[in-house]
Structure 1
Amino acid sequence: MANIGRYNTLTVLEKSDHGLYLDGGPHDKILMPTRYVTPDMSIGSEVEVFVYNDSEDRLVATTEKPYAQAGEFAYLEVISVHPTAGAFLDWGLSKDLLLPYREQGNTHFTEGDGAIVAVYVDEYTNRVVASTRLHNHLPAEKPPYEVGDAVHVLIYGDSPLGFKSIIDKRYRGLLYHQETSDQLEPGDQFTGYIKKVHNDGKIDLRRDPSGYGRVDGVSQIILEKLEAAGGAMPFNDKSTPEAIRATFDTSKKAFKQGLGRLYKQRRILITENGIELVNE
């Protein structure tokens, strides 16, 4: 059975002048246009495709990869705005994704804006569409994470406690303000780490790996950067978070912890002008 708005492995039933017809189960035959057909595809073979509605509202299959499938969240660019339908988003396919006005809340989108949306299949039209009402599309199951797992993080908002986040395009989490010194904005994306999964499914995040492993890792990065720079760099605990992130790819808090560990080990000197390797 073919699932609309998602990747499917379907069997080739027959060839035509327009492409290949695939077994869509209850959806009958689904056309994969000729431009996606490769020489190794033949009758009886299985192909991995994404199924969605074309501009004439027919189900079609494509080997193109959307930035998100139904059941996932993504940060997408507004390509155009229709006066009555809504905003059209670039989601990686030849046909743009519609964000209907009814799903935009109080936000007024214009061309070039970024939109953080849930991708889903409308139950009335069977079309794949987008929504900014993220809370309506969160999964019910408990997230399958362990403390310390690395995850993809998409920032979608701010709160008094921290930054609201989407994890791995599917789950909601919170990155507490004390976990990062960066000023994050909606649309920012990076690798984060699971700090805690609560019994109700809520997730706390870290910007960097937790515990001593984080300090050891940052310390090693600092040493490698120092060696590559000839033994001295103009960085210390007075450096800006932005400069530290750009050079060492870590937060200022983790950087300071890494410096402290190296200093206690007598592997670096901290001066007014920066840091230096200790000659052994």
Structure 2
Amino acid sequence: MINIGQYQTLTILRETDPGLFLGDGEKEQNEILLPHKYKPETYEIGDKIEVFVYLDNEERPIATTLEPYVTLNEFAYLQCSDVTKYGAFMDWGLEKQLFVPFKEQARPMTAGNWYIIYLYLDEKTDRLVGSSKTNCFVDNSTVTVEKYEKVDILVTHLTEKGANVIVNGKHHGLIYIDDIFEDIRTGDRLKAYVKKVREDNKIDIVLQAPGYRSIEPNANYILDELKAAGGFLPLHDKSDPETIKNELGLSKKSFKKAIGSLYKDKQIVIKSDGIELV
């Protein structure tokens, strides 16, 4: 079966004037055209080839070796190329741009601006369509992550409260402003950790492994910073939290845990004016 909006490995069946015809190997062979401009430099009939399948300008299924910025049922941060009386069109890395109808725009789109987009298949038209109404495609009714789990996040927007994120492409999460110690922006894809799953299924996310799990990597990070600074840093357990955040990108709590671990292992000395390598 040839599926729209997905990567597939197909077999080269024959070569024609328009390009290579590929098949899916099913009993009733389904075929699709790979235009000549996308064919590999060397190939033989019967070779396997990985392609992405979408609809061309005449709404016919077609294969390409170009790599789209988003595939079916996924989120991506895309730039709006044009807005017409029909809707908006997004650059998603392919010749034919991705259509976002007005009804699928969380707010009116403007050419040149960037938006978080979800790619889905319209069941009525069998066309690939984009939507910036991302909340319609995330669900926290059944949470599939747990405390301390490492997850993939996509930053959707920043507020005074913190950074709203999509967790593992499925759930909505939030990084509270007090837990942000680095520069993050809308569209960033990052590795993060589940700090807490609340009773109402809201998910708190942090960028560093929470609790004791973050002590070792933070301790190693501080050791590297100490070595780079010649063995001494003018920071200690009484330092101002903002100073620690600006210098190391760590919360004071994480910093104290890390230097406590280093002190216990006799790797540093904590002085009145800073920390020093032993």
Question: Kindly tell me: are residues 181 and 194 of structure 1, through their superposed partners in 2, closer, same or farther at Cα, counting changes over 3 Å?
Answer: same
What TM-score does the superposition give when structure 2 sets the normalisation length? 0.80
What are the ranges of 5 or more consecutive residues in structure 2 without an aligned counterpart?
none
Deviation readout 1:125-175 (Å, 9 max, x if unpaired): 222221011132236995654543332211224578753211233433333
Deviation, structure 1 residue 84 = 1.2
- 1:271, CA displacement in angstroms? 5.3
Select between 204-213 and 214-223 the one with higher mean Cα deviation: 204-213
The Cα of 1:97 is off from its aligned counterpart by: 1.9
Q: Secondary structure at the match of 1:241?
A: helix
Query: What is the aligned partner in structure 1 of residue 99 from structure 2?
Result: 98
Task: Provide closer, same or farther for how the CA distance between residues 220 and 149 of structure 1 changes in structure 2, counting only shifts above 3 A.
Answer: same
Measured in 2, the distance between the counterparts of 1:235 and 1:76 equals 42
Q: Is the 8 A contact 1:175 1:205 kept in 2?
A: yes
- Structure 1, unmatched stretches of 5+, are none
Q: How many residues align?
A: 271
The one-letter amino acid paired with 1:190 is L
What is aligned with 2:210?
210
> Counterparts of 1:63-78 in structure 2 under 5 Å?
63-78=65-80
Tell whether the 8 Å contact from 2:83 to 2:109 is kept in structure 1 after alignment: no
In 2, Cα distance between equivalents of 1:160 and 1:220: 32
Q: Once the 2 structures are TM-superposed, how far is the Cα of residue 104 of structure 1 from its aligned partner?
A: 0.8
Matches within 5 A, 1:230-249: 230-233=230-233, 237-238=239-240, 239=243, 241-245=245-249
Deviates more, 1:263-272 or 1:163-172: 263-272
**Alignment match, 1:129:** 129
Q: Distance in 1 between matches of 2:30 and 2:185?
A: 45
CA distance in 2, matches of 1:226, 1:151: 30
The alpha-carbon deviation at position 265 of structure 1 amounts to 5.1
Change beyond 3 A, Cα 1:96–1:59: same
CA contact (8 A) 2:140 2:172 kept: no
Instruction: Report the secondary structure of 1:44's partner residue.
Output: coil
TM-score by length of 1: 0.80
Structure 1 residues 108 and 43, CA gap change in structure 2 (3 angstroms): same
| Number of the residue aligned with 1:32 | 34
Q: Deviations over 1:57-84 (max 9, x none)?
A: 2211122222221111111222x22221
Report % sequence identity.
Answer: 38
CA distance 1:259–1:174, change in 2 (3 Å): same
- How far the C-alpha of 1:115 sits from its partner, in A, is 0.2
Which structure 2 residues correspond to residues 161-180 of structure 1 after superposition, within 5 A?
A: 163-180=163-180
Is the 2:138–2:169 Cα contact (8 Å) retained in structure 1?
Answer: no
Structure 1 pair 11/112, CA: closer, same or farther in 2 (3 Å)? same
Q: 1:53 to 1:175 in 2, by over 3 A?
A: same
Aligned to 1:17: 17
Q: Is the 8 A contact 1:182 1:242 kept in 2?
A: no
| Structure 1 residue aligned with 2:49 | 47
After superposition, give the CA deviation of every residue in 1:205-251 in whole Å (9 maximum; x if it has no partner): 22211222201210111101211332134556432635433xxxx55
Partner of residue 254, structure 1: 254
- In structure 1, the partner of 2:86 is 85
| Structure 2 CA distance for partners of 1:109 and 1:252, relative to 1, 3 Å | farther
Question: In the TM superposition, what whole-angstrom CA distance separates every residue of 1:84-141 from its partner, at most 9, and x where no partner exists?
Answer: 1333222233333222222113x23223322011111122222222101113223699
User: 1:167-223: CA deviations, max 9, x gaps?
Assistant: 233433333445435675533432201335579875442221122220121011110
* Corresponding letter in the other structure for 2:105: Q
Give the aligned residue type for 1:31.
Answer: L
